[in-house]
Structure 1
Amino acid sequence: MKTIKSKRDFERVFARGRRYNDSLLRIRVAPLDEGDPGRVAFVAAKRLGNAVFRNRCKRVLREAARSAGLPIDGYDVILFSTHNTHDSSPEQVASALRRLIGRAGL
């Protein structure tokens, strides 16, 4: 799975992307140039808790992204965890992610 790593790419997604929210996660989706492979980023803010808490949130997000079929060609997607992500199963988060992807029209 290709991931977004550079600050410049994150800023581009924030500038050009659209945001979609759910109680289990938030996503930001930005289109890429024609033919580019899609990429994904997983974010857990420090305000959520300690490193163990944040790492669990990112593990749940990674598994949910695999289940939901990310990355999608032609789109960069950033997944943000919430407090509810930690206590949810990857299947629940994947279901919420599929709903958000549907709302985004992907």
Structure 2
Amino acid sequence: MSEPSALRQVAVAVVLLIVDLAVIAWFLWSYSWIGWGDRWNPQSVPEAPRVAWRAVWVLIGAAAVTGVGLVALRWRISGAVQLSVLGIGAALFVYLAVRK
């Protein structure tokens, strides 16, 4: 199996980047809405950290499946973009989950 062309890898990376950013934006939107609701009811247990941890696990899982899978298939550029974007997104949500 030969390595795909750089142009094809970049095209796939751009498409997957758009999907990744949409997923991260969706998690960020839901985190912000639930965090807003948590501020209105301070007596209950906050649910925003739970949403952030869920986002972390989804993004890490997606990075493992898509990023490592693409690298294993010799789509190195697309795999590196997936691992980078999803890893940075997961790190963002780890920060949001542990901050007070």
- Is the shorter-chain TM-score for this pair beyond 0.5, marking a shared fold? no
Q: Which has the higher strand share?
A: 1
TM-score normalised to structure 2 length: 0.31
